[in-house]
Amino acid sequence: MRAVDIIMRKRDGKELSREELRFLISGYVAGEIPDYQISAWAMAVFFQGMSAAETASLTEVMLHSGAVMDLSGVTGPLVDKHSTGGVGDKTSLILAPIAASLGIKDPMMSGRALGHTGGTLDKLDSIPGYRTSLSAAEFKHILITDGFAMTGQTADIVPADRLLYALRDVSGTVESIPLITASILSKKAAEGAQALVLDVKYGSGAFMKNPADAEKLARSLVDTWRAMGKPIAALLTDMDEPLGKMTGNFLEVEECYDCLAPEAATSHASLSADLMEVTLELAARMAVLGGKAANAAEGRALCEQALASGKPRELFMTNIASQGGDVEQFLSMRGNYRSPHRAEIAAAADGYIARIDAWKTGHAGVVLGVGRNRTEDPVSPTAGIEFHRKRGAAVKKGDPIMTVWGKDQASLEAALPRLAEAVEYSPAAPAERKLILKEIG
């Protein structure tokens, strides 16, 4: 085989075989096929797309480009959740202990904040002592004892994706549905998940800006995972406004702890109600795929009962200790682990909050120090935003909308005008927006 022939076949809209894809990907990982040929192939895929069978082949080939987590001996259904990313999206930290309390095992390998979206690992790293780079043996051990384990991807998991993603980033080929599908699913399969629940987000703060594109991505993900013989469910959820009442690293962990309070299952009035709704609907699908419930309604009831029992919060605390975190210190930091550089944003007009733009808020978060623009940049554990009012709230000029903490004074001052601009007002109450648009699969 020659790489150039495979590139030309894709350029001309032909379907590539698994052998051709293996030749390209393994040659690339081995350093035998250069970046410029893989860039040309990625661009051909961008324009010509891939069939479902081709996408499944690419996913399998990428999966086997490195190590695959050996979770043999772990009893219980292995079910994970993946979100396409957003602002204030912290559902993982709440649903993993809920699912674990039902007897599901959630092997969670997460990522870091990049651009306007937050990262689970950065949030967990804000807990003193908590370790997010576990060895394979530690990951498996904690998965068995706690029912979930949280770690970052190791260098030997799907090396093809690390190389390919960096290349896509600089060759204008990130937004290709088959390439996104293979990237996400190869990593999820490598971490050892059998069944998968997807939170495919749309809106200003999401990767996909409109529901139609999000649905195309969700269908591709669902079809490909099924082609690999594994069960999956996907929800399309709104990411036009940050989820919950906090964005930040420690701030979000704190919100999750509060949401795991036994009364959180039924308290829908709080500013975390949207977060809990998405979390419980995702957890309900995990219960179904894990064989604990016959349908989503039954799954949801089980998750609410679990939450009310207090068991998920206990597991959350157990996991902090298992991964090296200092539980006492964590509890004592709640409510006060904040940067000293603080300011308030007040309503600029009388009326209603029509929208708090997730994309603008996420970018302001990068300026504050919550997120990063380059993978090597540090993040601040104590920067972030607490929302006092969100979409639909009636406001009088001067009412508090957000408290904001910056990693330093200059960052805080740079972010404030951006945040003020993220809030839109209307004279009448805005129309309801559906939080969960539909289920695919």
Q: Does 184 bind ligand URA (CB under 6 A)?
A: yes
CA angle 87, 418, 249 (to 5 degrees): 35
Decide if 143 contacts 105 (C-beta within 8 A).
yes
Q: Which is nearer to ligand URA, 179 or 302 (CB)?
A: 179
- Position with the least CB separation from ligand URA: 183
Q: How far is the CB of 130 from ligand URA (least distance, A)?
A: 23
Q: Does 55 bind ligand URA (CB under 6 A)?
A: no
Q: Which of 58, 61, 121, 180 binds ligand URA (CB under 6 A)?
A: 180
Q: Which is nearer to ligand URA, 165 or 425 (CB)?
A: 165
Angstrom distance (rounded) from CA 120 to CA 108: 10
Angstrom distance (rounded) from CA 181 to CA 199: 13
Q: Which is nearer to ligand URA, 179 or 395 (CB)?
A: 179
Q: How far is the CB of 286 from ligand URA (least distance, A)?
A: 20
Count of CA atoms in the C-beta half-sphere (13 A) of 257: 20
Decide if 198 contacts 234 (C-beta within 8 A).
yes
Angstrom distance (rounded) from CA 387 to CA 245: 5
CA angle 175, 178, 181 (to 5 degrees): 90
Q: How far is the CB of 352 from ligand URA (least distance, A)?
A: 34
Stretch that binds ligand URA, among 147-155, 179-187, 190-198, 325-333 (CB under 6 A): 179-187
Q: Does 114 bind ligand URA (CB under 6 A)?
A: no
**Which H or E element spans position 77?**
none
Q: How far is the CB of 35 from ligand URA (least distance, A)?
A: 17
Which residues within the stretch 138-177 sit at the binding site for ligand URA (CB under 6 A)? 165
Q: How far is the CB of 177 from ligand URA (least distance, A)?
A: 10
From the list 134, 152, 143, 151, the residue with the least C-alpha distance to 97 is 143
Instruction: List the structure tokens of 413.
Output: 């001052």
Q: How far is the CB of 108 from ligand URA (least distance, A)?
A: 14
Q: Which is nearer to ligand URA, 184 or 422 (CB)?
A: 184
Q: Which is nearer to ligand URA, 179 or 278 (CB)?
A: 179
Q: Which is nearer to ligand URA, 21 or 404 (CB)?
A: 21
Decide if 103 contacts 290 (C-beta within 8 A).
yes
Angstrom distance (rounded) from CA 314 to CA 327: 11
Q: Does 183 bind ligand URA (CB under 6 A)?
A: yes
Beta-bridge partner residues of 439: 235
Q: Which SS3 state, helix, strand or coil, does residue 355 take?
A: strand
Q: Does 43 bind ligand URA (CB under 6 A)?
A: no
Active-site residue list:
82, 161, 168, 183, 187
Q: How far is the CB of 175 from ligand URA (least distance, A)?
A: 9
Stretch that binds ligand URA, among 41-49, 128-136, 180-188, 283-291 (CB under 6 A): 180-188
Instruction: List the structure tokens of 34.
Output: 């250069």
Each residue of 216-238: b (16+ CB within 10 Å) or e? ebbbbbbbbbebeebbbbbbbbb
- Is residue 439 left, alpha or beta, with left meaning phi > 0 and alpha meaning psi from -120 to 50? beta
Q: Strand 400-406's sheet: what is its strand order?
A: 246-248, 384-387, 400-406, 341-346
Number of chain positions touching ligand URA (CB under 6 A): 5
Q: Which is nearer to ligand URA, 166 or 294 (CB)?
A: 166
Residues that bind ligand URA (CB under 6 A): 165, 179-180, 183-184
